[in-house]
């Protein structure tokens, strides 16, 4: 075969392949692209924020933990680090970067199958907003065409704003607002350049570059981001040398994802009321997707004082109780509480129609000493309920719904019994102000004389061998008329 024929054959194969690819691309794109309305208003699952009366975020309700902030609230360092790392030609292309795509194809197919990123920031945004993370040719085609449409719809800064608010950073955090809080307990504008670089580093793989588990790897990736900023003329060598010495100091994940906020039972009470009480006007809104802001009466500073007081006093009460309590000779009681705990386990409930499996699960837990000990701790935990109400408005300004120890042991305890709103108890001395106020209103203003002070104590032993002590106090006062 002559050289001319060989070249013509290659050109024909190339053009034929190009035609087949074009036809395939047209079939993929047809009817599968987001509409203009979807591009204008991309659906994002935004977290609802619950705020205290003094402006502190108490908690979020979310499917994806994401809150939206405008472009001017995103730190410049983050934007420059992002562009330097992910898409240096961001301001010069129209959604896709042809040279990067061919480079990625060449590297993957020629150089031993090594992966090379070819997606622009706009393509990554299209992927995050409209498509699954499956790695197929079909998705890449849709992603590229959608990226072009996004560039036609939004300005460059609007694209960066959307990207920074939707991308996943790990630890359940979507968007830079939540990521800043979760990783550094800061607002985005308070982040240092090194912290911004670390957040950009996480985009490559949040689990791979998790500084808690892979500190050296995380430092290396962060410093690479800083070096790329030098290459992109966004950082001087002197500043780089200063930044690489800054350690990665992360917030303890338990403090952000563990005991959820300062008032977990209060927030859960708010959630239940919003979902069940039509008076709050939630019809047509989704508490977990619509990015609502809920303003409450609770004062975060006062709540912290309440938490501290409860923690201090319950520790002493718990110590006193455990000094007087013993599980000795309480086999029947242990068996009863452990079996009840097993009946409440999800795996036991799930096989309600299979008695054989249930019996197997029951026996497994009954042999598990660790589980039995956890049940003992739970049932002997001293509980309490505290509510602080502003008498001039009736507003709840502080609420502790249970033992802080229960919350520390299990975050799901926020969904447990609220010892303020869900416990029925006798009013006791709390009712005295109403009696005295009524008496004073009726003219009984002189100091009363105590004429009866009688205490009756009842001892009773139940079927499990637990001694119950009931103390009744009877006080009778004589109020002379004014």
Residues 116 and 71 in one domain: yes
Strand 173-174 relative to strand 168-170, pairing = antiparallel
Give domain status of residue 25, yes or no.
Answer: yes
Residues 4 and 129 in one domain: no
**Burial class of 400 by CB neighbour count within 10 A (0 to 12, 13 to 18, 19+):** buried
Give domain status of residue 170, yes or no.
Answer: yes
Confidence of residue 30 (pLDDT cuts 50, 70, 90): low
Give domain status of residue 352, yes or no.
Answer: yes
CA dihedral angle for residue 174, residue 176, residue 182, residue 185, rounded to 10 degrees: -160
Mean pLDDT on 270-283: 86
The CATH number covering residue 228 comes to 1.10.3810.10
Domain span including residue 222: 64-258
Give domain status of residue 49, yes or no.
Answer: no
Complete DSSP assignment for 288-344: TTB--EEE-S--HHHHHHHHHHHHHHHHHHHHHHHHH---TT-HHHHHHHHHHHHHT
CA 293 to chain centre: 16
Q: What pLDDT, on a 0 to 100 scale, did the predictor assign at position 140?
A: 75
Residues 71 and 207 in one domain: yes
Q: What angle do CA 219, 224, 230 make, to 5 degrees?
A: 130
Q: How far apart are CA 182 and CA 193, in angstroms?
A: 17
Token readout for 209 is 């570059």
Mean pLDDT on 227-236: 95
Q: How far apart are CA 85 and CA 163, in angstroms?
A: 14
Residues 201 and 93 in one domain: yes
Residues 341 and 436 in one domain: no
Residues 334 and 410 in one domain: yes
Give domain status of residue 281, yes or no.
Answer: no
Of 364, 383, 415, which closes a domain? 415
Residues 224 and 78 in one domain: yes
Mean pLDDT on 52-75: 88
Confidence of residue 207 (pLDDT cuts 50, 70, 90): confident
Mean pLDDT on 408-413: 67
Confidence of residue 343 (pLDDT cuts 50, 70, 90): confident
Residues 253 and 179 in one domain: yes
Strand 386-389 relative to strand 396-400, pairing = antiparallel
Give domain status of residue 41, yes or no.
Answer: no
Residues 326 and 365 in one domain: yes
Q: How many domains does the chain have?
A: 4
pLDDT in tens, 420-453: 988 877 777 778 888 888 888 887 765 555 544 5
Confidence of residue 128 (pLDDT cuts 50, 70, 90): confident
Q: What pLDDT, on a 0 to 100 scale, did the predictor assign at position 467?
A: 47
Residues 25 and 77 in one domain: no
Q: Give the lowest-confidence range in 273-282, 327-336, 391-400.
A: 273-282
Of 388, 415, 442, which closes a domain? 415
Question: Are the C-beta atoms of residues 97 and 117 closer than 8 Å to each other?
Answer: no
Long-range contacts from 177-184, C-beta under 8 angstroms, 24+ separation? 177/66, 177/67, 177/68, 177/69, 177/73, 178/47, 178/60, 178/65, 178/66, 178/67, 181/57, 181/256, 182/65, 182/251, 182/253, 182/256, 182/257, 183/250, 183/251, 184/249, 184/250, 184/251
Instruction: List C-alpha distances in Å: 313 to 262, 317, 408.
Output: 18, 6, 16
Give domain status of residue 294, yes or no.
Answer: no
CB environment 416-430: b (16+ within 10 A), e (fewer): bebbbbeeeeeeeee
Work out the mean pLDDT of the chain and round it to a whole number: 81
Of 363, 387, 415, which closes a domain? 415
Instruction: List C-alpha distances in Å: 437 to 30, 44, 407, 432, 434.
Output: 77, 55, 38, 8, 5
Token readout for 190 is 């308070």
Give SS3 for 99. Answer: helix
Q: What angle do CA 277, 280, 286 make, to 5 degrees?
A: 90
Q: What pLDDT, on a 0 to 100 scale, did the predictor assign at position 286?
A: 83
Residues 438 and 402 in one domain: no
Residues 400 and 306 in one domain: yes
Mean pLDDT on 7-36: 64
pLDDT in tens, 353-405: 788 888 999 999 999 999 999 889 888 888 889 999 999 999 999 999 988 88
Give domain status of residue 147, yes or no.
Answer: yes
Q: How far apart are CA 390 and CA 466, in angstroms?
A: 40
Question: Are the C-beta atoms of residues 457 and 470 closer than 8 Å to each other?
Answer: yes
């Amino acid at each position: 075969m002559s050289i001319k024929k060989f070249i013509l054959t290659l050109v024909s194969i190339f053009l034929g392949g190009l035609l087949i690819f074009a036809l395939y691309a047209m079939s993929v794109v047809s009817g599968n692209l987001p509409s203009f309305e979807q591009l204008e208003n991309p659906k994002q699952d935004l977290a609802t924020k619950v705020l205290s009366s003094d402006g502190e975020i108490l908690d979020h309700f979310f499917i994806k933990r994401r809150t939206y902030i405008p472009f001017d609230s995103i730190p410049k360092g983050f934007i420059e680090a992002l562009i330097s790392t992910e898409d240096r030609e961001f301001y010069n292309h129209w959604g896709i970067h042809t040279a990067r795509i061919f480079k990625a194809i060449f590297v993957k197919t020629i150089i031993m199958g090594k992966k090379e990123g070819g997606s622009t920031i706009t393509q990554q945004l299209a992927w995050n907003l409209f498509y699954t993370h499956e790695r197929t040719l079909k998705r890449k085609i849709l992603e590229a065409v959608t990226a072009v449409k996004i560039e036609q719809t939004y300005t460059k800064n609007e694209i960066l704003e959307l990207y920074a608010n939707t991308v996943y950073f790990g630890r359940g955090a979507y968007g830079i607002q939540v990521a800043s809080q979760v990783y550094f307990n800061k607002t985005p504008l308070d982040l240092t350049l090194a912290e911004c670089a670390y957040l950009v580093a996480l985009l490559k793989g949040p689990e791979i570059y998790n500084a808690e588990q892979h500190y050296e790897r995380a430092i290396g990736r962060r410093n690479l981001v800083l070096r790329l900023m030098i290459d992109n003329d966004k950082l001087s060598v002197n500043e780089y040398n200063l930044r690489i010495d800054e350690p990665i100091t992360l917030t303890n994940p338990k403090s952000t994802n563990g005991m959820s906020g300062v008032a977990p039972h209060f927030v859960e009470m708010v959630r239940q009321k919003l979902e069940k009480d039509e008076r709050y006007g939630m019809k047509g809104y989704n508490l977990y997707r619509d990015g609502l802001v809920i303003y409450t009466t609770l004062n975060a500073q006062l709540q912290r004082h309440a938490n501290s007081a409860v923690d201090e006093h319950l520790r002493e009460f718990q110590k006193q109780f455990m000094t007087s309590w013993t599980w000795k000779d309480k086999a029947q009681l242990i068996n009863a509480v452990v079996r009840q705990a097993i009946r409440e386990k999800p795996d036991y409930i799930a096989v309600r129609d299979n008695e054989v499996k249930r019996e197997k699960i029951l026996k497994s837990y009954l042999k598990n000493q660790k589980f039995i000990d956890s049940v003992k701790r739970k049932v002997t935990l001293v509980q309490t309920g505290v509510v602080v109400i502003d008498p001039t408005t009736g507003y709840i300004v502080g609420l502790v719904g249970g033992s802080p120890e229960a919350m520390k042991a299990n975050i799901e305890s926020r969904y447990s019994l609220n010892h303020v709103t869900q416990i029925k108890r006798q009013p006791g001395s709390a009712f005295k102000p109403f009696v005295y106020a009524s008496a004073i209103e009726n003219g009984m203003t002189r100091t009363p004389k105590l004429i009866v002070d009688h205490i009756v104590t009842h001892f009773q032993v139940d079927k499990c061998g637990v001694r119950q002590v009931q103390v009744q106090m009877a006080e009778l006062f004589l109020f002379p008329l004014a």
